[in-house]
Amino acid sequence: LTGSTAFAPVLSELAQKYRDHCGGEPDITVAAHGSRTGVRELALAGGKPQDGATVVAFSDGPRPASYTQLSESRVAVSLFTLVAHDDAEVTDLSVTDVRRIYRGEIRNWKQLGSPDLPLVLVSRTSGSGTRSALTERVLGGADEPPASSDDCVNRTLRSTPVLRCELDSTEQVLDTVARTPGALGYAELRAASPPDAPRGLHRITLDGRAPDPDRLDSDGYPYREIEYAYTFGRPPADSLASSFLSYAVDNGTGKGVVATHGHLPCGTPVGLRVCGSVE
């Protein structure tokens, strides 16, 4: 199982529960390196097994249109959130102000009613589905400004309006935001919430709306994305990949694991409506 680092904790627990369900077999490996990276590697491999195993790539958001050979299953709706260092006293931002921040028009928290503190944007690399969801669902399709720092502290590119760095995983983003005054980042909801989140940061609501899987079909919280599972072609009905995906989407235990991690399973009545409407 590869792809989304945001969904990796779910995959690890699903793999363990599935093994228990099957009496300790089979061996399922979770190796998440980012949504786009996982989907791209699956497509380029052309269906060839990796180390003798079938690959299933999980992605926060849909595959590129050119990867027509990939078959999809909708697993869940994933919720994401902006996070800020605790020195930034802002707890709610309008989507308009978020877009102004990422355009470089707002460079200091004092412009938002917080103490005088330069903004530091802590972002994911381009292979991240969490970043893609931010771009599409919150920033209106506009990309983030270029990276201007290698360590999230010192500038390596001074021509950009705001200091911005890129990191490889959800955990790296959260740890960096928690220790960097003025930092603003983003992450999957469960990882950014107590008790999993590191101390020193807090979540930011958007236009007064908080991420809540129980209200997704009514409140319009924007920073969300469907979690897709991709295989190269449709796996045979009697294959391990098909059985595992059925367990994740339709089995009560599987859906419970997904929900426990703060996602909305597509295999529930509300999930069916939301998974069918998020395009």
pLDDT tens-digit map of 172-220:
999 999 999 999 999 999 999 999 999 999 999 999 999 998 888 888 8
Residue 279 has pLDDT above 70, yes or no: no
Q: How far apart are CA 56 and CA 241, in angstroms?
A: 7
Residue 76, judged by CB atoms within 10 A of its CB (0-12, 13-18, 19+), counts as buried
Task: Determine phi and psi for 175, rounding to 5 degrees.
Answer: -65, -40
Which residues share a beta bridge with 6? none
pTM: 0.88
> Of 98, 150, 106, 128, nearest to 34 (Cα)?
128
Query: Within a 10 A sphere around the Cβ of 233, how many other Cβ atoms?
Result: 9
Q: What is the pLDDT of residues 110-150, one digit of tens each?
A: 999 999 999 999 999 988 999 999 999 999 999 999 999 99
- Residue 215 sits in the same domain as residue 82: yes
C-alpha distances in Å from residue 147, one per residue of 67, 153, 157, 158: 28, 12, 8, 10
Domain span at 132: 78-219
- Separation of CA 56 from chain center: 17
Between CA 105 and CA 116, with CA 110 as vertex, the angle to 5 degrees is 120
Domain end position, chosen among 219, 239, 268: 219
Give the integer Cα–Cα distance in Å for 221 and 241. Answer: 32
Cross-strand bridge partners of residue 201: 85
The torsion region of residue 120 among left (phi > 0), alpha (psi -120 to 50) and beta comes to beta
Output the CA–CA distances (angstroms, integers) from residue 163 to 36, 101, 229, 238, in the order listed: 25, 11, 34, 51
117 and 202 inside one domain:
yes
* pLDDT above 80 for 163: yes
Please indicate, yes or no, whether residues 70 and 83 belong to a single structural domain of this protein. Answer: no
Indicate if 134 and 249 belong to the same structural domain.
no
Residue with tokens 């201007």: 148
Between CA 251 and CA 72 the distance in angstroms is 18
Residues 228 and 200 in one domain: no
Domain count, the chain: 2
Q: Which percentage of the chain shows pLDDT scores above 90?
A: 81
| Mean pLDDT, rounded, for 104-109 | 96
